Structure 1
Amino acid sequence: MLTADDVQQARLPLTKLTEGYDKDEVDDLLAKVVATLRAVESGTAIDDPVTADGVLQARFQATKFREGYAQDAVDDLLDRVMTTLRERPAVPVPPPASAAQVAGAPDGAVPGLLAPRRSWWQRVLGG
């Protein structure tokens, strides 16, 4: 099984003249994988963890005549990542915040809704 450090330290070969995967797109996915694996390893909750199915469905822009990652090397690493994510326990996800937990929300306010409009006198007098 891979650890977050294994993924973070993985060095993928570069291509220029042959077809490869866009480096930024691959790096973005691998950064999310590292965050997910760190959360699993530490038992902390994160928003939007990467799943094995998410890795399987990932698609990258192909590169040719510009620098990219070798496709076979990326595919091999992602296969190992999927195996690891399937074998590890589920990543804790933070519970949804209630209206009372939303920072700065007035009493009785519902997240995502505007606060009722206050009159001019209420704004001036702080009411």
Structure 2
Amino acid sequence: MAIENIYERTKKLMSNQQWKKVIKVLPYEVLKKSDDWRLFWNAGWSYFKLNQFEKATSYFRDAHGLAHEVDDMALCLAFLGVAELENGDCYNAQIHLKASLHLKESAMASQALKMALVHLSTDANVGQIAD
């Protein structure tokens, strides 16, 4: 199946919130043949929706590595940061959220960054906050 067809299929499955089916359509064997960041993002979002945040971060990281447009890179970094935040990795979350906001303003990324910074300061890890 052509990569564009796979993307359209996963997009439809995602609109119906069929997260497990998206993952079945996007096994790593299919993804490693693709340089389409959207497929990796779709896999990441599906894992995120299934509360599998560690897997989600991996796919969002791969999506970011393949994205070429600034808006796409910002989107990938924002969701990478949110997945890291959900996974309890506030330090890396705030790094990626700041990087996303450096590329493009986003209310969601700003809110997530505030949450990451609150968690870091609450955990008495203020010294870990990146510039």
Higher RCO (Cα < 8 Å, 6 or more apart): 1
* Shared fold (TM-score, shorter chain, > 0.5): no
Higher Cα radius of gyration: 1
* Structure 1 or 2: more helix by fraction: 2
Q: Give the TM-score taking structure 1 as reference length.
A: 0.30
